Amino acid sequence: MSAPAFARLAELHSQLAAVYAAMAAEPASVPAEDRAVGLEEAAMLFNADALTPGLPALLVEGAGDVMSWHHYAGVGEHVAVGLLGVALTPTKVALLKTARPSKVVVALDNEPEAQRRALLYVEDLRMQGFDACLGRWEGGKSAGDGARLKEVADSVSTVRAMWERGAGR
């Protein structure tokens, strides 16, 4: 592991330790979204230590999707990180902010409910200052199926139009 990568991992580890300490000291300070999904899942993004400032991040649902993306796509432009579930909690957004990706492509599974969440996440990330866009899988349900990624919406107006046409309902 390179020195910068090791330093980044150490930084993320200390931030995570601080989050755990704060949660243990003041349980009421834990956001409701984090309490709903459980401490470990709420506080983590699988493979977050691989994010590189200035490079795009690919937000997928689970660890299997992350591993499959990197298996099928190889070492490409996007670094995949997994939500470890379906909730994009404030803690996970904070981890993304710390990583400073150039863009976040939200590519959840090709299922109606997951696509609705993905549209909401894109808009939420954009409101928080991220350059975010929607990604869809072609040729399968997810990265875990070896599907190909297609970026389909890179503007808030496009995301809203998709929502209004029924992709979000």
- Smallest CA-to-CA distance from 45 within 65, 68, 22 is with 65
Q: Which tokens is 28 given?
A: 């009421």
Q: What percent of the chain has pLDDT over 70?
A: 63
Question: Topology of domain 3-167, per CATH?
Answer: Dna Topoisomerase Vi A Subunit; Chain: A, domain 2 (3.40.1360)
**CB neighbourhood size of 30 (10 A):** 20
Read off the pLDDT of each residue in 45-72 and give the average, rounded to a whole number.
Answer: 90
Q: Are 45 and 66 in contact (CB under 8 A)?
A: no
Tokens at 11, concatenated: 């930084």
The per-type count for the chain, helices as H runs and strands as E runs, is 7, 5
Q: Lowest-pLDDT range, 31-35, 70-74, 89-93?
A: 31-35
Q: What average pLDDT does the segment 17-33 reach?
A: 49
Residue extents of the structural domains in the chain = 3-167
- The pLDDT, as a whole number, for residue 126 is 93
pLDDT bracket for residue 37 (50, 70, 90): very low
**Distances from the Cα of 140 to the Cα of 1, 104, 109, angstroms:** 33, 21, 9
Average confidence (pLDDT) over 40-51: 79
**pTM of the predicted protein model:** 0.69
**Tens of pLDDT, residues 95-151:** 999 999 999 999 999 888 898 899 999 999 999 999 999 998 988 888 877 788 888
